[in-house]
Amino acid sequence: TRRSSDLTDLSQFEATGKLNLRLRTNYPGKLRIGFLTGSLSTAYDAYVVVSNTNADGYGFVNDGQWHNVSIPIIAIKASGAPSFGNTTTNAKFDLTKVTNPFVINDVYDATGNTTIKGDTTKIYVDNIHWTK
């Protein structure tokens, strides 16, 4: 069982790594995909907003079919920021302290999906893994 306080060192993936998964949904909006480093006062959100038309080249299309999604860790890092309530003074991107190695969500302010708030379309995820 993984606890939120468990930290995993995934620093070997920073330079050339990718976060990979298979995704199937008709969800009408974009999604945020990534991970969390640190914990509590050092938490850092490392997410990238993924286009639902594969406009970004990551592979996600919301057509109800299974798609391979592959996102470079460097792209996720570039979109990162300190978690809510934290500052750049105490919260930094740190792959030696990954708390949640996979997160998928829709934070409407980040994705621009404000018109679909409360949508309950199912999102199926499979084969989540990191590669170098």
Distance, CA of 92 to CA of 61 (rounded, Å):
31
pLDDT at 76: 98
107: helix, coil or strand? coil
Helix (H, G, I), strand (E, B) or coil at 39: coil
- Cβ burial, residue 128 (10 Å; 0-12/13-18/19+): middle
Do residues 79 and 19 touch, judged by C-beta distance below 8 A?
Answer: no
Token representation of residue 121: 């379309």
Q: What is the pLDDT of residue 11?
A: 97
Q: Which of 102, 104, 97 is nearest to 5 (CA)?
A: 97
CA 25 to centroid of chain Cα atoms: 16
3-state SS assignment for residue 75: helix
β partners of residue 22: 68, 126
pLDDT of residue 2: 55
Q: Which two tokens stand for residue 40?
A: 């509590």
> Along the 132 residues of the chain, how does pLDDT read in single tens digits?
555 568 899 999 999 999 999 999 999 999 999 999 998 899 999 999 999 999 999 999 999 999 999 999 999 999 999 999 999 999 999 999 999 999 999 988 889 998 999 899 999 999 999 999
pTM: 0.91
Computed from CA positions of residues 107, 109, 110, 113, in that sequence, does the dihedral angle turn out positive or negative? positive
pLDDT of residue 4: 53
